[in-house]
Structure 1
């Protein structure tokens, strides 16, 4: 029997997007295989009696379900899907200590746990389950689709390969010696953390962005640090991840087996996104004739977080309607 951790749930609507009157909303919880209790927002179309196709949503990396993933989940529920947007382990309202820790292995398990939950709900057709991964959770979604045959269709939006980024830097700019020095620094930090009994945080986004900062940093600031997307429980809106979280990300090539995904995959990315190459390269590795890369004109990385005139929700609805049929 899985022993549940005590978790505190909010009761008020505290999303960064408006509540839809077209769907029913409730908080739900479920555990992953490591015994960590995860919390999700469930969105369900109103006045539907038959079993529904279902979609689990998570991301961006460092965000919470009250941000982008919740928007995606609510929009897809309006289109007739039962959806959940969940907080990954160690973040948001989900359990797990220490806080603000990331692991590609545990986060992949989180997605599988979401499928466990959906597969056992009376309102859900267990043979019609899909997933959506946003930003860093796009890579996690592909990793999950490669291992979980219950997933019948996968969408990634503005995908990051977090393991590649942490191991090699943007555009693979970090060489072996620089990678080694990073490992030296991070392992020294482990010793400091163990001595102090606390885990140092990386610090998150700056409170002010210099005028000469890269555009993508300005874009992140505009989402996470302003009224547009700020949330009190979001890692990226506040003090960031633990410094040593980077170690596990550096050493696990998350897309190792993505070529084995047999189910349909739709990858979406903006043509103005600094991260576009992650989707382009990941797409090249996918096999079969049921894979598609959709490039959105004049869209940046963060445009696909919440800009409804840029996010191709109609395409997502058609994709899941067809592939989960």
Structure 2
């Protein structure tokens, strides 16, 4: 398998195809939640409000705060939720927040730095460090809310933000429990490809191409974005996971105009730091705080979850969902174990 620059990683991850469409959050200040497009229905037991806060780097993050209409306690346990990698809060993370708020949590779904409505220029770039920090900044925000018990904060990371969530919890001791679904280790995938099949020669070639791209970007004064194969339609002979991604991101099921995976592209140099900064070297330091790792039985990404489960220290749990593929855990409510997530956090946010 040959990976060129970071474009191929984008194709491997999401099958995304559209040219970059730049939408700055500064142009969205007057946007009203009720006029927005969400890929799921807001529960009649939940309220949703737009919020913003800054991370340690001064980047303004935008999120949706979901609250139960009839809370059972004065101070609520809280969850910060983000992912999948390249998605926005109106997609999977918002659905998770909606469901968890129904179960009594203050649940914050947020757009990571440089994506969606959150700040950061240029657009559509990722960072092992900054995306890890985004979770800690979410904990900052939640802990300042008058209706939140700051001693009961947990995290849910979906897809690539599962890896960043685990990294955040290994550092940030305020976070009491962490769960991941369809987890990806983004730096590992960027550097080594699926199942670690990328050779040193291939990795070197990719880094050479990205290094030369930096000259082009510097001369132009702006980054160049990936030109992925056009995936507005699919032939049907693509790998199953590409067809699965298409079914979520490119159809009415999960399409959102601000989602990179639906309607955008990463910069061509996006992998420059991701490929050289492993994020899970300190996974054992999450202990004694608990980890719940959830993956689909038939997910192409399942091995990431299994490897992290083996590497992590107790207490930990690996839950495999029968007959589920990677994207099923994005939005298939009948397959996402929300009651299990509820029980996990209720038992551990004490």
Report TM bin, short chain: over 0.9
1:128 equivalent in alignment to 2:152: yes
Structure 2 residue 189 is matched with structure 1 residue 169: no
Distance 1:107 1:83 in 2: 18
Q: Which residue of 2 aligns with 1:257?
A: 282
Q: Is 1:187–2:206 an aligned residue pair?
A: no
Q: Is the 8 A contact 1:87 1:93 kept in 2?
A: yes
After TM superposition, the structure 1 = structure 2 runs for residues 1-20 of structure 1, keeping only pairs within 5 Å, are: 6=26, 8-9=28-29, 10-11=31-32, 12-20=35-43
Q: 1:313 aligns with which of 307, 327, 338?
A: 338
In structure 1, which of residues 6, 24, 30 is the aligned counterpart of residue 53 of structure 2? 30
1:222 aligned residue: 247
* Equivalence for 2:143: 119
> How far apart, CA to CA, are the structure 2 residues paired with 1:212 and 1:24?
43
**Higher-RCO chain (CA-CA 8 Å, sequence separation at least 6):** 2
- Tell me what 2:300 maps to: 274
Aligned 8 A contact 2:45 2:70 in 1: no
List gaps (5 residues or longer) in structure 2: 1-24
2:261 partner SS: coil
Shift of 1:239: 2.3
Of residues 317, 330, 338, the one that matches 1:292 is 317
Residues 7/117 of structure 1: CA separation in 2 closer, same or farther (3 Å cut): farther
Q: CA-to-partner distance for each residue in 1:56-105, whole Å, 9 max, x for gaps?
A: 00000000000000000000000000010000000000011000010010
Structure 1 residue 13 displacement after superposition: 3.5
1:103 maps to 127
Which secondary structure does the structure 2 equivalent of 1:194 belong to?
Answer: helix
Cα offset, 1:6, TM superposition:
4.6
What is the TM-score of this pair, normalised by structure 2? 0.89
- State TM-score, norm by structure 1: 0.96
| Residue of structure 1 in register with 2:44 after alignment | 21
Please state whether the residue corresponding to 1:237 is helix, strand or coil: helix
Aligned Cα RMSD in Å? 1.2
Indicate whether 1:39 and 2:62 are aligned.
yes
Q: How does 1:147-166 map to 2 (within 5 A)?
A: 147-166=171-190
SS of residue paired to 1:151: coil
4+ aligned runs moved over 4 Å, structure 1: none
Question: What CA deviation, in whole Å up to 9, does each residue of 1:115-160 have, x standing for no partner?
Answer: 0001111010000000000000000010001000000010000000
Distance of 2:210 and 2:48 partners within structure 1: 41
* CA distance in 1: counterparts of 2:234 and 2:267, whole angstroms: 22
Tell me if structure 2 keeps the 8 A contact 1:7–1:95. no
> In structure 1, what is the Cα distance between the partners aligned to 2:205 and 2:306?
29
1: CA distance between counterparts of 2:117 and 2:27?
7
Match of 2:234 in 1: 209
Pairwise CA distance, 1:198? 2.2
SS in 2 for 1:268: strand
Contact residue 258 and residue 264 of structure 2 kept, 8 A = no
d(CA) in 2 for partners of 1:210 and 1:191? 36
The unaligned stretches of length 5 or more in structure 1 are none
Note closer, same or farther for the CA distance 1:102–1:284 as it changes in structure 2 (3 Å cut).
same
